[in-house]
Amino acid sequence: RAPDGMSVWSGTVALAKACVEVSKHQREFQRRGSKRHKGRSGAATAAAAPQPPGVDVHADLFVNGTSYGILRDALQTGAASPLRLKCREFQAEELSASGIVALLESLDPSFLRRVDLRFNNLGLAGLSVILP
């Protein structure tokens, strides 16, 4: 649910940006933590960066042409990200059939309850790409 004063559209963008940023910070932390360090014996040892537990973020996602790229990036961070988007309800407006398919394929189907495509001019050809 978006905070007061924030639309569902801007809420999706804010959540997606947060997921992408947290993923970037985790990769940076792992890169720095996995650099070789001298051990007590003087031998170089690899320090493994601790893997923080992840959090599943269950949300309703609303996407249009403006927010498509950041949402796609957030969904593609996948299971390795500390914040994993789990979509309950997905609403797309004015997206191409291929864009809708790319996002749907990135969603975990076990959490998805509803897909709303009513404001898309897909026609039979577009629906035949999406429905399978």
List the chain domain ranges. Answer: 8-28+55-130
Closest CA to 92 of 110, 73, 115: 115
Q: What pLDDT is stored for residue 50 in this prediction?
A: 56
| 25-76 tens-digit pLDDT | 887 777 776 665 545 555 544 455 555 578 999 999 999 999 999 999 999 9
pTM score, two decimals? 0.76
